[in-house]
Chains A and B, each alone.
Chain A
Amino acid sequence: MYKYDEYDQAMVDARVEEFRDQTRRRIEGHLSEDQFKPLRLKNGLYLQLHAYMLRVAVPYGTLNSRQMRKLAHIARKYDRGYGHFTTRQNIQYNWIKLAEAPDILAELATVEMHAIQTSGESIRNLSADHYAGAAPDEICDPRPWAELIRQATTFHPEFSYLPRKFKIAVIAAQEDRAALRWHDCALRIVKNETGEKGFEVYAGGGMGRTPIIAFLIREFCPASQIFSYIQAILRVWNRHARRDNIHKQRMKILVHELGEDEFRRQVEMEFAHILTLGRDFPQAEYDRIAAHFEPPPFETGLPEEVDRSDPDFALWVDRQVAAHKAPGYAIVNISLKPDGGIAGDISAEQMDLVADLAERYSFDDLRSTHVQNLVLPHVRKRDLHAVWQALDAAGLASVNLGLVTDIIACPGLDYCSLANARSIPVAQQIAERFADLNRQLDLGELKIKISGCINACGHHHAAHIGILGVDRKGTENYQLLLGGSGTEDVSQAKITGPGFDETGIVDAVERTIERYREIREPGERFLDCYRRVGMDPFKEAIYG
């Protein structure tokens, strides 16, 4: 994985000092909360209902054991002993004291981590395929490009006060494991007819109150020009987006207002101009970065077979383990959705354990996923049983990847000052209702995602079954949505009809799922069934 050199380290250290200074000015009263807010937001520090929340960047979802142990240490020393992995592969701490935030950033800097551009109107931390470097279906590891773009977009002077947030995702596989087209700028590495590598570029995606799936703005951008192309997109948006209404400032709205063709035309004109400025990074710099992502020294001649005599282990293998590109290796998915737990939450002790496992069994490589789970990307098949035992002992061996209890849920009204309704208890009740593993396995792939308000942090637009918390005459109310997807078959979920109270929404989810069971064809996923029959049979089941 990437290692900072003295330049990278100096930038991060400088940021810590800057933030220490800004925090001091705030605490001493030289900065008002109004003036301080945009500054702290550039460091991932939000003010929530009960405390400050700090969002730490996990660039393209890659961590090593040293970093994970530091995250555990921070959880213990500065928070209440746990952290929360988010849908953008980052980690958040919910109980932070303002005066300690600079110390946390300083601790992070010692392990090459930071909270730069994790919130606010900035180019956010990039997300990427969490199977990068391990997936059999990728044409290359997308992370060297992600790292290059990370550097290119860090403290970019022209794009320091964008109209709104700007989220980039990068993948290099057919299968989309990163909710690609729900990003403002979505990049898929492809090869053209001559075998040259480049990017398929999508623009203008996003969730929030106006969900839009990104459109294909360019079929092929030569890899060496991608930074120029991204700057062209950013400049067109920065110059022409509305600035009078915060809800209409995301890039997707400008694309919608100009039309895709006109937006593309303007970007192409700007691209032609920016190319002449010679701002793209040279091949030598790409090569330098890529050298950090060389495949680990995979052993050869390893056994392929896995001893399945322990039935619990076999169940876990079938669900949580994915195929790896190297013979004898496998990808391990660690569920952060235990029975009755909170999606994405992980204790300091669990972090330490996962760090140990990564170090011992996965070439010191660890990933976070946008579904709020973790991944050990390179595990020898013959070590799977040992890994499973260790995970099981720590309460991390749940079997539910992609199943009905693998729920995404935002913090909601338990933490978030913008929330209309609670998300966590709804997720917990659904998980309880479907706790029986046989029932889950019978239902197959089913993605439930819950947001506590229209901002859609919980990806409900991209859910097979989505839940949205709304405020109805001062009481918590939930809308149900069906038919969304965040993978290569991307689609936007539609609202079923009138909303429900807390118990009502759990019942409605169950009725929806029972109807699916009645009408599905053999082997048909919920999403495919919905696409075949449409909304009506489900409405009938829900509303009678």
Chain B
Amino acid sequence: MGDPLRFRDDPAPDEPGVTLDAFLDQKNATSVLLEAGDDVRALLPELGRVRLVEIDFPRFRDGRGFSSASILREAGYEGEIRAIGDVLVDLLFFMRRCGFDSFEPDEPFDPGAVDAALHRYPDVYQSATDGRVPIWALRHPQCATG
């Protein structure tokens, strides 16, 4: 598999992710692989040592990973969150908004499509973990919270 598509400036962690159970046991592990059914909140007490969370999409229609990534960002996690598995380029925009900042899809993205997917929508209707200013705040600059 090639290099992941990354939206970060730091060097990519080279330690492969271990399963959530293994990660919780191995106190020196820094990369974890979350399966779609794993409870991401089990990871929250350990966030201090996490550098990479890989979130697996067994099928692109399985949207659990969107919540997992959001919960990590809401808990203040700033390390890398990588989407792996059946990840379609048409999901990229939403994934970025939920806090994913690297991608290693089973089928590599077409680079032209990446750019189009990311820049399709001029604005967003709701705030998410990416900090984009939602339309309601653009309409009311005086009460923007971001």
Contact = CB atoms under 8 A, between A and B. Distances in A.
Given A7-B135, A157-B128, A160-B94, A282 B140 contact: yes
B102 interface: no
B6 interface: no
B125 A163 contact: no
Interface size on B, as a range, is: 35 or more
A239 B64 contact: yes
Contact of A162 (B63, B125, B145): B63
A159 interface: yes
B67 A238 contact: yes
A194 interface: no
B15 interface: no
Given A151-B135, A282-B143, A288-B139, A21 B128 contact: no
Residue among A21, A151, A158, A277 having the largest count of chain B Cβ atoms under 10 Å: A158
A11 B123 contact: yes
Interface in A1-59: 5, 7-8, 10-11, 14, 17-18, 21-22, 35, 38-39
B124 A155 contact: yes
Contacts of B142: 284
A285 B136 contact: yes
Contacts of B66: 157-161, 238
A278 B88 CA distance: 30
Interface in A122-159: 151-152, 154-159
Contact of B90 (A39, A273, A278): A39
A339 to B, nearest CB: 44
Contacts, number: 101
Interface stretch (B18-26, B45-53, B114-122): B114-122
Given A151-B125, A158-B66, A35 B88 contact: yes
Contact of A7 (B61, B88, B127, B139): B139
A272 to B, nearest CB: 13
Nearest to B124: A155
A215 interface: no
Main secondary structure on chain A at its contact with chain B? helix
A155 B125 CA distance: 8
A152 B95 CA distance: 17
Given A152-B125, A161-B60, A282 B120 contact: no
Contacts of B74: 273, 277
A157 B139 contact: no
Interface of B: 36-37, 60-64, 66-68, 70, 74, 88, 90-91, 93-95, 97-98, 116, 120-128, 135-136, 138-140, 142-143, 145
Interface of A: 5, 7-8, 10-11, 14, 17-18, 21-22, 35, 38-39, 121, 151-152, 154-163, 227, 235, 238-239, 243, 273, 277-279, 281-282, 284-285, 288
The 6 closest A-B CB pairs, nearest first, are A161-B63, A157-B97, A157-B94, A285-B136, A160-B94, A7-B135
